[in-house]
Chains A and B, each alone.
Chain A
Amino acid sequence: MLGRIIRESVVRRRRRKLLSFIAVALGIAAATTVSTIALDVGDKVNRELRSFGANLSITPAADGLAVAVGGVDYRPAGEGAFLSESDLVKLKTIFWRHNIVAFAPLLYLPAVVAGRRTVVIGTWFDKWMQVDKSDVFNTGLKKLHPTWKVDGRWPEDGDALGCLVGRRLARSLGVEPGQTLAVEITEGPPGQGGGPANGVTRFAIRGILESGGPEEDQVFAPLQAVQKLGGLVGKIRRVEVSALTTPDDALARADVTKLSGEEFDRWYCTPYASSIAYQIRQAIPGAEAKPVYQVADTEGKILDRVGVVMWMLVVAALATAALAVASMMLANVLERRAEIGLFKSLGATNARVITLFMLEALVIGLAGGVVGYFGGSLLARSLAAAVFGAPSGVHWVILPAAVTVALVVALVGSALPLVRVLKISPAVVLRD
């Protein structure tokens, strides 16, 4: 009997059912869209902020003091401690290797160009690094600073004599891409075998760098070439790393040495700037890794702000979805008051009536929730493409949440008015 009633109720009042289904689907779709965007916005803004450049920096632990302004070290080339270039591949073996967006090694060689003292910086421009047998990682200055523009082209990493000149320096020297730059390497480390190439080296200018920052006063050359010139083969002075991090919270600021085992695991498994730095220190022998606090902290604050705004929108969307579903259920129940009265006068128990409506609400909630989820995900994709320029991913985790919300609200939204209607005596309801 119950089965037949359900079948009948599904077949009949199709328009009403369709309307309910649409209302539920729309409400859930809105909530899904907002939730999907909210989950993605943090990642997207994080990547956007990475265009600032490095938020972590690696230096040799045994190093003396750098004579540096704005990151450029003016010390004589051989002075101080170094890191090994071959250790760089270990950066992609740490626990949070997938959060390392890019990095670039740096080696400073003081030189004289056209009578001015300057520093030639050896680095990777656009290198494909072999991580293991199957994995290659593309990194270098180009990836570390995606907003930098080059008039001309980036030098090849194997180019022995190519270089990149900063815009301001190029302007004051009056040079252009295609010309040569006479660079006098004034010193190499004394007594090093393999001999420093003292004397004038003619670099070919491949491009002019426009960065909008202090780099415009520098000359960049391939790392290999600078290493050879300075007699420092295989050595690097610093590594700048750009990593996706989560904003610092109480756990991140705690003293690492005082954390319990479980807390330490949690800290290790969260990509805080400080935990990534810790993992780098473990992976590379003799290295000191530190977050660039200014960049990391500010980024954290910005992400925090963005996150809170987004989650407020999620709450509003959920409230809207709940309202949509609840109003539909209420309308359904009220409309069928006479029918309920009829059931009861025919002898159906309250339980039977409730079961009937609950089953209907279940079906509508389920169907509406699933369809709403997919519709909302699609809408989120196009919205993300419009706002971020890249479509958002599919977040399967939202599906069970969406369906649960739909079901719960549908069931509760039917139950509450149902309970009130059932209190009315059938005679009154039938008479109305």
Chain B
Amino acid sequence: MGYGNGSMIQWSNKAIVVTGCSMGQETEAGTRLSLFWRLWFRALTVKRPQAALAVGSLLVGAAVISMLLNLYADVRRKMTQEFRAYGANVVLAAGSSQATVPQATGGEPRQRLDLPARPAAMDAGMIDEGMMSVIEPLRQRAKGSSAVPVLYVVTKLEGVPARQNPMDVRLPESVNVVAVGADFAGLHQMNSGWRLLGEDILKGARDQGRCVIGDHLASTLHLGVGDAVRIEPISSTVGGSGATAGNGTLDNAGLFPIAGVLSTGASEDDQVFVPLPALQHLTGLEGKLSLVELSVPGDSAEVEQAVRELSGALNGIEVRPIRQIVYSEGKVVGTLRALMVSLTALILAIIVLCVMATMTTIVLERRKDIGVMKALGASDRLVMQLFMSEGAGLGLVGGLVGFVVGAELARALGRRLFGVSLNVAWWTLPLISAGSILLALLATAFPVRIVRNVKPAVVLKGE
């Protein structure tokens, strides 16, 4: 007998016999109620393509919403994390009111000035390392933030290869480079975009007094992991490039074995990174820093808040947010979210129309059933209720299955996107189920009006 129609009518015939035979008043209401639920259950379980399509549409809708809700909050958090890879977004530097390094040229004849011992921007002054203890409690409050103190000094560097290669005769004896005193592991964590050769042996570099050199430096002096460098600060006296004695008398304390080679495509390729305490000791700048690089997680509002707190807590220190990063991040996350919401709304609108069309078909299909029920004395309202609850039932099924499908997709997506399984947001389940039921009810509300127009005699006759 083809589609569900026939079996519905057959069933209804049986029901006629049952209700027809029951005489007692007290059983009639009870029977009508149980009939209602039996019809409802039958409507859901009997195989009918329209119902399947309706469920399918609701399923897709629920899945999309489920995916959106699961991803929405996480997109922001993960994107923010991604933007942290651009490096520090807040920098602490000495306030510009600090004394400048005197470089008087006064009445003296103009001479070639040597390279500054500290790069000019840092001539503005140095930070006291004691500041770090002030930053520490503030930093701990902002979860996931990190702070790396840095000291920049221009030094004279000499390569000490592990093996003397007789071919390398034309190498420069020593070069001027910027030495960066910092905890390299901390810097590398902050700048995850840096490419490092020799990564796994960096653990404990701090303790073992090893250094990391930039790849341009490495290629200029033909050095690599396993070789070493000797560093000496350049004296800042005017006119003296002869502050260094002969090679052999350089202090052994300035010897650093190379632990890794860094490639960034920027200034770091020409620099050498040594442990901060060692550089401070070597240059006699104990307890001094050039800057502190901070990575503060969060969106622009949270970063501004952190900047305000730090400015308040630190005197004479300038707190500079790197506005570029914060601004760009806000825009990208905002764009993505706006798109997710608007496109999901569009998809949902189409789904509603789909379900509405399908429910119309279902109602039209079962005009005969409606005719029979009305002929048996069912009121319009009762029949309409039956269809509405049927719609709600389809909505519930579609919603539940859609939620599961959507959550699974979000997890797979999360793993692909972020490499981490996102947690299923169980609190969205009642939300989505309710939403799906509401959607189905809304979609059914219009077609059920057809019930009113069904004239049993006309329909049963076969028009």
Contact = CB atoms under 8 A, between A and B. Distances in A.
A310 B339 CA distance: 9
A297 to B, nearest CB: 5
B154 A74 contact: yes
Interface string A208-236: 00011110011000000000000000000
B124 interface: yes
Contact of B324 (A52, A172, A187, A306): A52
A71 interface: yes
28 contacts: A56-B265, A64-B175, A64-B220, A65-B176, A65-B217, A68-B270, A69-B122, A69-B178, A76-B115, A115-B103, A116-B120, A116-B124, A117-B103, A171-B96, A184-B105, A292-B264, A302-B83, A309-B417, A313-B340, A313-B344, A313-B347, A320-B350, A327-B57, A331-B360, A334-B3, A386-B342, A424-B2, A432-B6
Contacts of A110: 113, 120
A100 B84 CA distance: 26
B87 A294 contact: yes
A117 B193 contact: no
Taking each of B49, B124, B178, which has the highest tally of chain A beta carbons within 10 Å of its own beta carbon?
B49
A330 interface: yes
Given A110-B120, A302-B83, A417-B49, 9 more contacts: A26-B350, A37-B343, A69-B121, A115-B100, A117-B101, A186-B105, A319-B60, A320-B61, A387-B338
B347 A320 contact: yes
Contacts of A429: 2
Contacts of A69: 119, 121-122, 152, 178, 267
Contacts, number: 281
B306 interface: no
Contacts of B172: 64
Size class of the contact patch on chain A? 35 or more
A34 interface: yes
Interface string B99-123: 0111111000010110110011111
A30 B265 contact: no
A326 interface: yes
B393 interface: no
B399 interface: no
B407 to A, nearest CB: 13
A198 B110 contact: yes
A66 B96 contact: no
Those 10 A-B pairs whose CB atoms lie nearest each other, nearest first: A212-B323, A294-B193, A172-B96, A117-B120, A292-B265, A331-B361, A68-B267, A290-B265, A298-B85, A66-B270
Contact of B416 (A66, A119, A308): A308
Contact of B265 (A53, A190, A294): A294
Interface in B171-209: 172, 175-178, 191, 193-195
Taking each of A51, A76, A387, which has the highest tally of chain B beta carbons within 10 Å of its own beta carbon?
A387
Contacts of B353: 23, 26, 324
Nearest to B75: A309
B193 A313 contact: no
Interface in A374-395: 379, 383, 386-388
Interface in A295-346: 295-298, 301-302, 304-306, 308-310, 312-313, 316-317, 319-321, 323-324, 326-328, 330-331, 334-335
Interface in A70-113: 70-72, 74-76, 110, 112
A64 B172 CA distance: 10
B25 interface: no
A274 to B, nearest CB: 10
A57 interface: yes
A2 interface: no
Contacts of B267: 66, 68-71
Nearest to A212: B323
A19 B323 CA distance: 53
B103 A51 contact: no
Given A306-B336, A309-B71, A312-B413, A33 B110 contact: no
A68 to B, nearest CB: 4
B102 A313 contact: no
Nearest to A41: B339
A147 B350 CA distance: 40
A44 interface: yes
Taking each of A51, A313, A316, which has the highest tally of chain B beta carbons within 10 Å of its own beta carbon?
A316
A298 B324 contact: no
A399 interface: no
Contacts of B335: 41, 44-45, 48, 387-388
A67 interface: yes
Interface stretch (B308-316, B325-333, B372-380): B325-333
A269 B343 CA distance: 33
B64 interface: yes
A327 B48 CA distance: 12
A168 interface: yes
A67 B343 contact: no
Given A65-B175, A172-B96, A309-B417, A33 B67 contact: no
A187 B116 contact: no
A368 interface: no
Given A116-B100, A327-B361, A52 B328 contact: yes
Given A297-B85, A432-B5, A65 B347 contact: no
A417 B216 CA distance: 70
Given A294-B87, A305-B79, A316 B64 contact: yes
Contacts of A365: none
Interface of B: 1-3, 5-6, 49-50, 53-54, 56-57, 60-61, 63-64, 67, 71, 75, 78-79, 82-83, 85-87, 96-97, 100-105, 110, 112-113, 115-116, 119-124, 152, 154, 172, 175-178, 191, 193-195, 216-217, 220, 263-267, 270-271, 318, 320-325, 327-328, 331-332, 335-336, 338-340, 342-344, 346-347, 349-351, 353-354, 357-358, 360-361, 364-365, 368, 409, 413, 416-418, 462
B50 A312 contact: no
A171 B353 CA distance: 62
Nearest to A331: B361
Contacts of B265: 56-57, 290-294, 296
A422 to B, nearest CB: 11
A172 B264 CA distance: 32
Contacts of B82: 298, 301-302, 305
A207 interface: no
Contact of B103 (A56, A112, A292, A420): A112
A27 interface: yes
Taking each of B78, B195, B266, B340, which has the highest tally of chain A beta carbons within 10 Å of its own beta carbon?
B266
Given A27-B350, A417-B49, A51 B324 contact: yes
A291 to B, nearest CB: 5
Contact of A308 (B50, B154, B343, B413): B413
A331 B359 CA distance: 10
Given A293-B264, A330-B49, A214 B121 contact: yes
A428 interface: yes
Nearest to A44: B335
A49 interface: yes
A294 B417 contact: no
B96 A168 contact: yes
Nearest to B331: A48
Taking each of B85, B177, B339, which has the highest tally of chain A beta carbons within 10 Å of its own beta carbon?
B339
A67 B63 contact: no
Contacts of B87: 294
Interface in A15-30: 19, 23, 26-27, 30
Contact of B116 (A74, A190, A331): A74
Contact of A305 (B78, B175, B322): B78
Contacts of A306: 332, 336
